[in-house]
């Protein structure tokens, strides 16, 4: 498929004010595989394009769908980011797009594409993956690529493939990239700007500019198998925590710590958990909750701390839920299956609580299905989004937006229903779905992205 199919015809001069012949680049607004981005009701009547440099200078222009625009002479050697907004006749924003930051116009040989989509809905950017991995880990590499490898299976248009192969989606060029097979089948990926660490049942490998090499487990006891498949939680300092207790398999208390410099160490929860939820709470630290019928409801690794501390909250046997910090600072537990096998209630509590802690049920916000392998993200204020797999034989990926203030639960269906997909928070502020299997059993090669409304 031609990557330009569905593009809005638009031209902008990205020129240099200091060269004898200004460098010209065309800024292309990309709608990818969707044909109704601007025409769907309510239709877009005005498009605003802003290019902001690293020093704060903004170049802006406005146009209409199908029209052209000129940003003027944008410096060719100064990093910038592009934001596109489409509004209705009433002024409501219904289309948005955002490039990666740090774009240098002079570094582009061809056009500079910016993908736009309807807000609050899933959309498919241009191109597709060459292979779709199933039940695989995902991460961001180099603040540009969405990466997935490993999993239980991998397949492309040519059939089954080695799960150790690396598949990438480029958020700058909006297309696929691939790597040769890695030394192991990854169940967790710790992504960094300059590389990544793959964690599997048999060990771990670091992948970076200096090549690929094996990484040793940092202690005499235990192994990478104790954390492989665990959720990665990032701290503001750049430390990554691989929380083995978030896995759906055997209970564990081990947490692999990867410092910003790449050094490894191991910390242990106060109690082993299975199917637990984990998230970073600003001003509090790493919070691990639920996943045990006997341990405290949650425990905390304080910022800068070296040991987890149980908090005084009743045990919570919920498995497969996600933890997320909402805009008001409260932590919410969403998704999951309760001890009776039913869809768990949405509950909130204060992560800074130390004694007499208790969750509060959000009445009217119960999900219609039980979800496992849930991941949740704040949408600001009282709103959050949860993505998980149905706790049924189909194991389809389901997405719900929850507003605690109303309260309401609204499903946001994928463009291509699938199971076994991977969720990654992209560096341009969107959520991305990669891989999995479509309902007809074929590989899900299209990437889907969600721009919050």
Residue 404 belongs to some domain of the structure? yes
Percent of the chain with pLDDT over 70: 94
From 81, 103, 119, the end of a domain falls on: 119
Residue 387 belongs to some domain of the structure? yes
Model confidence band, residue 71 (pLDDT cutoffs 50, 70, 90): confident
pLDDT tens per residue, range 135-169: 999 999 989 999 999 999 999 999 999 999 999 99
Residue 400 backbone phi and psi in degrees, to 5: -135, 140
Residue 92 belongs to some domain of the structure? yes
pLDDT, average across residues 333-355: 95
The CA distances from residue 257 to 43, 155, 234, 235, 386, in Å, are 48, 32, 10, 11, 26
- H/E/C letters for each residue in the chain? CCCCCCCECCCCCECCCCCCCCCCCCEEEECCCCCCCCCCCCCCCEEEEEEEECCCCEEEEEECCCCCCCCCECCCCCCEEEEEEEECCCCCEEEEEECCCCECHHHCCCCEEEEEEECCCEECCCCCCCEEEECCCEEEECCCEEEECCCCEEEECCEECCCCCEEEEECCCCEEEEECCCCCCCCEEEEECCEEEEEECCEEEEEECCEEEEECCCCCCCCHHHCCCCEEEECCCCCEEEEHHHCCCCCEEEEEEECCCCCEEEEEEEEEECCCEEEEECCCEEEEECCECCCCCEEEEECCCCCCEECCCCCECCEEEEEEECCCCCEEEEEEECCCCCECCCEEECCCCCCCCCCEECCCCCCCCCEEEEEEEECCCCEEEEEEEECCCCCEEEEEEEECCCCEEEECCCCCCEECCEEEECCCCCEEEECCEECCCCECCCCEEECCC
Residue 114 belongs to some domain of the structure? yes
Residue 268 · residue 310 · CB < 8 Å: no
The CA distances from residue 451 to 79, 395, 411, in Å, are 23, 24, 15
CATH number at residue 39: 2.60.40
pLDDT tens per residue, range 386-409: 999 999 877 899 999 999 999 999
Model confidence band, residue 449 (pLDDT cutoffs 50, 70, 90): very high
Residue 228 belongs to some domain of the structure? no
Q: Extract the tokens encoding 423.
A: 């969720």
> Exposed, middle or buried: residue 249 (CB in 10 Å: 0-12, 13-18, 19+)?
exposed
Total domain count, the chain:
2
Tell me the C-alpha distance between 307 and 287, whole Å: 12
Residue 108 belongs to some domain of the structure? yes
Residue 179 belongs to some domain of the structure? no
pLDDT tens per residue, range 226-277: 999 999 999 999 999 999 999 998 999 999 999 999 999 999 999 999 999 9
Tell me the C-alpha distance between 256 and 254, whole Å: 7
* pLDDT exceeds cutoff 80 at 108: no
- CB under 8 Å to 217, separation ≥6 — which residues? 203, 204, 223, 224, 264
Q: How many CB atoms lie within 10 A of CB 26?
A: 15
Q: Which domain holds residue 58?
A: 27-119
Residue 75 · residue 53 · CB < 8 Å: yes
Residue 343 belongs to some domain of the structure? yes
> Would you state the pLDDT for residue 25?
60
* pLDDT exceeds cutoff 60 at 17: no
pLDDT tens per residue, range 48-64: 999 999 888 999 999 99
Residue 416 · residue 444 · CB < 8 Å: yes
Model confidence band, residue 109 (pLDDT cutoffs 50, 70, 90): low
Average pLDDT of the chain? 91
pTM above 0.75, yes or no: yes
From 68, 95, 119, the end of a domain falls on: 119
DSSP-derived pairing of the beta strands 203-208 and 418-419: unpaired
Residue 319: closest CA among 350, 340, 300, 299:
340
From 119, 134, 165, the end of a domain falls on: 119
């Amino acid at each position: 498929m031609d990557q330009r199919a569905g593009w809005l015809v638009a031209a902008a001069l990205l020129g240099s004010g200091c060269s004898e012949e200004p460098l010209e680049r065309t800024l292309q607004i990309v709608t990818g595989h969707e044909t109704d981005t601007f025409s769907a009701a309510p239709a877009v009547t005005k498009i605003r394009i802003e290019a902001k440099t690293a020093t704060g200078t903004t170049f802006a222009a406005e146009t209409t769908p199908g029209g052209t625009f000129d940003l003027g002479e944008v410096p060719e050697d100064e990093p910038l980011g592009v934001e596109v907004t489409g509004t209705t006749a009433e002024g409501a924003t219904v289309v948005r797009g955002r490039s990666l930051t740090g774009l240098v116009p002079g570094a582009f040989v061809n056009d500079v594409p910016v993908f736009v989509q309807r807000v609050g809905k899933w959309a498919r950017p241009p191109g597709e993956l060459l292979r779709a991995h199933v039940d695989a880990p995902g991460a961001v590499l180099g603040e540009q690529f969405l990466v997935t490898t490993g999993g239980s299976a991998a397949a492309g248009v040519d059939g089954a493939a080695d799960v150790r192969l690396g598949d990438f989606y480029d958020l700058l060029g909006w297309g696929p990239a691939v790597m040769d097979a890695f030394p192991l089948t990854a169940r967790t990926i710790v992504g960094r700007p300059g590389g990544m660490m793959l964690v599997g049942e048999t060990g771990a490998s670091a992948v970076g500019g200096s090549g690929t090499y094996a990484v040793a487990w940092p202690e005499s006891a235990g192994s990478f198998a104790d954390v492989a498949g665990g959720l990665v939680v990032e701290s503001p300092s750049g430390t990554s925590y691989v929380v083995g207790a978030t896995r759906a398999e055997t209970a564990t208390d081990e947490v692999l710590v990867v410092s910003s410099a790449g050094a490894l160490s191991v910390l242990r929860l106060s109690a082993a958990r299975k199917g637990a939820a984990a998230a970073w709470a600003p001003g509090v630290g790493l919070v691990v909750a639920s996943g045990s019928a006997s341990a405290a409801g949650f425990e905390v690794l304080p910022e800068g701390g070296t040991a987890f501390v149980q908090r005084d909250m009743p045990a919570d046997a919920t498995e497969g839920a996600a933890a997320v910090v909402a805009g008001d600072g409260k932590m919410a537990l969403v998704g999951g299956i309760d001890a009776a096998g039913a869809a768990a209630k949405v509950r909130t509590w204060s992560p800074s609580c130390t004694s007499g802690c208790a969750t509060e049920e959000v009445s009217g916000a119960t999900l219609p299905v039980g979800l496992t392998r849930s991941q949740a993200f704040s949408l600001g204020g009282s709103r959050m989004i949860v993505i998980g797999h149905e706790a049924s034989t189909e194991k389809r990926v389901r997405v719900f937006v929850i507003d605690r203030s109303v309260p309401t639960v609204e499903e946001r269906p994928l463009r291509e229903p699938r199971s076994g997909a991977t969720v990654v928070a992209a560096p341009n502020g969107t959520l991305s779905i990669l891989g999995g299997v479509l309902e007809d059993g074929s590989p899900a090669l299209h990437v889907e992205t969600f721009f919050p409304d």
